[in-house]
Structure 1
């Protein structure tokens, strides 16, 4: 009985600690506009290597922003919602990034973020807020490209993915189109032509 209570107490304390850490990040960075940043793919079939976000890249970003250094936060990838997205996420687990890198800037500087990011070889997309469990990061961190879109397997059973370059448009047709399109959210892309956003 004592061991069970100790395990439950430890689990509760760990959960509360993660919740408190997420709240601390939010409290320490009030009134921020948040952007998911990632490097663009260069071509359809070649996956992009991560970009190292270090002090030099942040200085470049701040110079393009004409403002102070942004707050850099690590967050989990978008969560699958429903069986189709869960299936996609499971199949694409090897190519999915382990997390997303978000930058927080003062709202007055938000309009310059896409240009500052482009000057550092990154794309940026506004997100509605700081995700639960986000953690502020310091030092070097890998900024990964969005995962490729799985289109099947090759003769040896390896997954074949399409890595969408910036501005790529994918037209999904056929009876199963709605189910395929429902997996877009798991990749971190958006549906439709939205100015300044990745289009899938």
Structure 2
């Protein structure tokens, strides 16, 4: 009969310093991401590619005109997330997270990334979660992004609602009315400013 040891085993993990543990943790994450690459789920595959930096082909301004409207935001968003992840990995102590990198990106990149995050939650009927769980700084980035493409009254409504988290349904209702116009305006802005969207 074999008895289980009730005393904690002192292994190599406890002897590792903080940096060694961080590297080991990153290695485990990398292996998990590599498993996602082999899954049949396109969302997981794209996520893993972004996190592993495998979508490294330069996105040129001429490419912007070749991407169909219905795919443009998704392609740009993936490339922006990949760039944020790469920038973070180059100096993790400086940036702390890829989310911090995203906040420091040019307004054109933030337009794509932050409005997409907001609109995904709003489309799911979770606009209230956006206002409850998103830092005020990021809500302001969303408002600025809508200003950038000409939706000043909508951005004012977002700012007003973010102050007191009341009348959230007004934002969802207004977005439902403006959704198609916002999509068209954002795509038009991207194509007119294609040089701003050249991403390495």
Structure number with larger C-alpha Rg: 2
Q: Whose helix proportion is higher, 1 or 2?
A: 2
TM-score normalised according to structure 1 size: 0.28
Q: Whose strand proportion is higher, 1 or 2?
A: 1
